[in-house]
A and B are shown apart, each in its own frame.
Chain A
Amino acid sequence: MRRRTAKRFCNGKVAEIEKKIREAFEVFDRESNKTVDARDIGCIVRSLGCFPSEVELHELLAKLVEKEEEEEATRFIHLEKFLPVMTKVLLDRSYWPIREDVLLHAFEALDENKCGYITKEDLVKYLTEEGEPFTQEEMEEMLSVALDPETDTLHYRDYLSKLVVDEAKIFPFHV
């Protein structure tokens, strides 16, 4: 692609990305004053197609928040600051999606006996003690959907295919 066309193409792409970021941001902008609660940033970033870990999210927030803010509860992020940072994230493809097969491997890794399911106890143990632990609320909500109530086990293949269908309705964000 010739340089000028390439630049125009890139500008067009950037403009489109910025529009998408603005839209997602506005959904959480309750006061219509171009700011959102810092606690909602995770939601915004994730619904734009990214899969950051909690650590990565904290790093991102650090770039956005003023150093002088002490209390987490009162931190607000302004669109002006968010826009360039998020645009870069999307252009660089940071925090890129976790593919279905990778996720399957993850479940399999927790399934010691390779029997195709994980017991409720094991699931709770792993997800609330290992990695970046779930809160009780998160755990309960996941269990309510994922567990087979009769056996109290998670048949992960079924669970995955069910969710993939659901997600397919919301196919991944195209940059």
Chain B
Amino acid sequence: MGSGSSVNVNYKYSLQKSENAFKAAVLIQQWYRRYVARLEMRRRCTWRIFQSIEYACEQDQIKLHNFFSYLMEQFTPSSSKERDFISRMFITGESYKEAELEKYCDYESIEVPDSYTGPHLSFPLLPDHATALLEAFKQKQQLHARYVLNLLHETRKHLKQLPNISHVSTCYSEEVTVCGDLHGQLDDLFLIFYKNGLPSPSKSYVFNGDFVDRGKQSLEILLILFTFLLIYPKEVHLNRGNHEDHMVNLRYGFTKEVMQKYKVHGKKILRMFHNVFCWLPLATLIDQKVLILHGGISDTTDLDMLEKIQRDKFISVLRMKKRKESNRKVEMWNVNGESKSEADAAGNEAAPRLSLQPQPAQAPSTANRLEFSKWLRQTVQEQIDTCRRLVDISESEPEELTYSSMVSLKYGDEPCWTHQEEWQQILNILWSDPMPQEGCRANKVRGGGCYFGPDVTEKFLEKYNLQFLIRSHECKQEGYEFCHRRKVLTIFSASNYYEIGSNRGAYVKLGPDLVPHFVQYQANKAAHTLTMTQRISRVEESAFRALREKLFAHTSALISAFKAYDEDNTGRITLSNWATALESVLRLGLPWRMLRPQLVRSTEDGMLEYKSWLDDLAMEQRSQEHIQSSLLEVIYRNRSNLETIFRIIDRDHSGLISFEEFQQTWKLFSSHMNIELTDDGINDLVRSIDFNKDGNIDFNEFLEAFRLVRQCQA
């Protein structure tokens, strides 16, 4: 053979080799792309899990409020003790008159000891104070209670003179930076200041609410923001968010944080904060063109009304407070013909029954429905007031707890809108979310505000001659997101909100051209060093842990649902039925079939042994040996509500409540919510919480017990 044929052979060989290389490359690429796609799907599913659980929690909040409404309407206190107890729950006493507030939350008598090494504030504040404060917080120091209270007093004074809607102009400071939710994540605020610069006469900022709750440094964030607010009043603007609300704080952590950091003066500080929150402006308008508010709008949002409302009336938007009707007389009401001063055996006056039955003799003709409902409403309100009078409750600012929507009534001698309408306006701008579909409907997921469509946005912008809306309120993976044909911008500044690596935070800058420029970031260094795979795995683990806990909390309901598919009692069901059953019980709207591989470890022929699957779930959650599974389930399912109830009962924020108080409330709550728990079960529950066996429940200890367990598993 000449060299020709060996060249041929070589050529053929190398051709085959390159063909092989090509094929090999295709295979690897094909396989790898599939792997990445799978990761992406996992990432999105994880996100959905977190969001649905978060919103389910907000629904819990609403259930709790409905419970209190129910109490107000239906409950008949059977003893003076019960009466006291219920009344204590409803009157939180946070609504102080001006003079009382100054007296109660006075700071001048508080001495700052020489041993204090933190920053000292003096008023009026100077830029140096701000930098000192920032530095101190970076060193994990704490500001002395005296300065905190002083700062809050000054902040309140300042906020009071601000209008409901702040006006900003870009011609004074070239750019305005708008930040979204921070939720106590101080690292994100530091990062924003680092990247963008501190507030100054040439650097304007708008902070769009939700500064507190969930994160552990809500206090520091507020102190910093208030400080800058006082130093640069023209350049720093704060909007109220739905978390700047004491009812929400009870559940989501701010109350707890303050009480832990300020053991002696915590109560005062909290009171002041709640009185400052209600003075926060509701919205900010840039160049008359861009409206910034926390949640969104509704089809009835009226900027003129919003500008004129007395915003400080709404300490908590979750409870509607009624203005004092100065010309209304509250009379002792004769119920069912009983004499009002009938005494019971113990010599106490009989409590009037809270009843919605109208007195036939006095009710107007039911033919006139408006008249009738007006009368009915007055009746209920007056009965409530009467009840309060009996238990000697201060009537300085009577409160009404009926949460669910009521017919809007117009009283003859009132201004042209009612208290109810005002409240609705504020509720909507703090709690609403945009939706892709047209129209406007009640936001059942959150339980407050509404979902508003692109048509609502369009009309609103046109009506007030605006260019677009900036809002926050919803976590976005990239820190920001446009919707409604770029007319609504969501900006969210708390990075890694659900878990390290879950999302970026962002802020937006607007110049005179009002074209938005975005800056994104992630505050955790660790997030950067993780690969995409690791990041996703980590967040995913966290999400599934939360989901498994939720599943466990519904064990009984799940068993019933599974059994319905297992008529022959084989102990097994198909995976398809498993998925359907899960959704019917949990109602989280999750893609269960996609999530199945992470939730179910072993199957046989596509069938699942559901009892052992549920047992596995229970094993993970078991904390205290002596708490039985069913009890644990009840605790888990209602943990959020339990915690909130605790905090409401614990008015002096001491962390302790009595055995009896808790038992009573729990009994009421569980019967209202149709939670099956026998008397024994309740006693077991309470005893298991009372670690010290001294008749008091230290609920922080109780809650920590569950959290500790989870940490160990991590």
Contacts and interface: CB of A to CB of B under 8 A. Distances in A.
B25 A110 contact: yes
A50 interface: yes
Given A43-B41, A47-B38, A170 B598 contact: yes
Given A131-B29, A134-B29, A170 B38 contact: yes
B701 interface: no
B24 A107 contact: yes
Given A107-B24, A109-B21, A23 B30 contact: no
B127 interface: no
A110 B21 contact: yes
A4 to B, nearest CB: 20
Interface string A51-70: 11110000000000000000
B551 to A, nearest CB: 18
A16 interface: yes
Contacts of A132: 25-26, 29-30
A35 B706 CA distance: 42
B462 interface: no
Nearest to B47: A27
Contact of A127 (B25, B531, B576, B594): B25
Interface string A36-55: 00000011111100111110
A33 to B, nearest CB: 6
A31 interface: yes
Contacts of A114: none
Interface string A125-141: 01100111110001001
B14 to A, nearest CB: 12
Contact of B27 (A32, A98, A141): A98
A43 B22 contact: no
A24 B29 contact: no
Contact of B597 (A138, A145, A169): A169
A133 B31 CA distance: 13
A126 B26 CA distance: 10
Contact of B592 (A23, A44, A138): A23
Contacts of B532: 141, 144-145
A31 B28 contact: no
A145 B576 CA distance: 35
A33 B332 CA distance: 57
A138 B32 contact: yes
B34 A24 contact: no
A169 B598 contact: yes
A173 to B, nearest CB: 9
B598 A138 contact: no
B408 interface: no
A23 B436 contact: no
A30 B66 CA distance: 32
B37 A42 contact: yes
Contacts of B30: 51-54, 98, 132
Contacts of A52: 30
A170 B597 contact: yes
A126 B533 CA distance: 23
Given A46-B34, A47-B37, A145-B533, A127 B597 contact: no
B461 interface: no
A99 to B, nearest CB: 10
Contact of A171 (B435, B437, B597): B597
A20 interface: yes
A130 B25 contact: yes
B437 A33 contact: yes
A47 B594 contact: yes
Contacts of A10: none
Interface string B42-59: 101100100000000000
Contact of A170 (B40, B42, B44, B591): B42
B436 A33 contact: yes
B20 interface: yes
Interface residues of B, number: 41
A163 interface: yes
B483 to A, nearest CB: 9
A54 to B, nearest CB: 8
A91 interface: no
A167 interface: yes
Contacts of A76: none
A2 interface: no
Interface string B193-221: 00000000000000000000000000000
Interface residues of A, number: 49
Contacts of A8: none
A27 B28 contact: no
A171 B33 CA distance: 17
Contacts of A42: 33, 37
Contacts of B411: none
**Most B-side CB within 10 Å, residue of A20, A44, A45:** A20
A133 B21 CA distance: 12
Contacts of A144: 531-532
Nearest to B595: A23
Contact of B28 (A43, A47, A106): A106
Contacts of B533: 145, 166
A98 B26 contact: no
A155 to B, nearest CB: 15
A130 B17 CA distance: 12
Contact of B41 (A24, A127, A141, A166): A24
A85 interface: no
A174 interface: yes
A106 B27 contact: yes
Given A33-B437, A141-B36, A141-B532, A23 B594 contact: yes
Contacts of B592: 23
A142 B437 contact: no
B31 A103 contact: yes
A88 to B, nearest CB: 19
Contact of A43 (B26, B31, B40, B436): B40
Interface in B581-607: 591-594, 597-598, 606
B35 interface: yes
A157 interface: no
A128 B57 CA distance: 47
B531 A46 contact: no
**Most A-side CB within 10 Å, residue of B27, B30, B48, B531:** B30
A174 to B, nearest CB: 7
B38 A24 contact: no
A24 B596 CA distance: 12
Contact of A131 (B25, B576, B591): B25
B31 A27 contact: no
A134 B579 CA distance: 37
Contacts of A43: 37, 40-41
Given A27-B45, A27-B594, A31-B436, A126 B21 contact: yes
A167 B345 CA distance: 73
A93 interface: no
A102 interface: yes
Nearest to B606: A174
Contacts of B28: 103, 106-107, 110, 126-127, 131
Given A51-B31, A144-B531, 11 more contacts: A16-B576, A19-B576, A23-B591, A24-B594, A27-B45, A32-B436, A47-B40, A105-B24, A131-B27, A132-B25, A134-B32
14 contacts: A24-B41, A54-B33, A98-B30, A103-B31, A106-B27, A109-B24, A126-B28, A130-B21, A138-B36, A141-B531, A166-B533, A169-B597, A170-B38, A174-B606
Interface of B: 20-38, 40-42, 44-45, 48, 435-437, 531-533, 537, 576, 579, 591-594, 597-598, 606
Closest 6 CB pairs of A and B: A131-B25, A46-B37, A47-B41, A23-B591, A131-B26, A130-B25
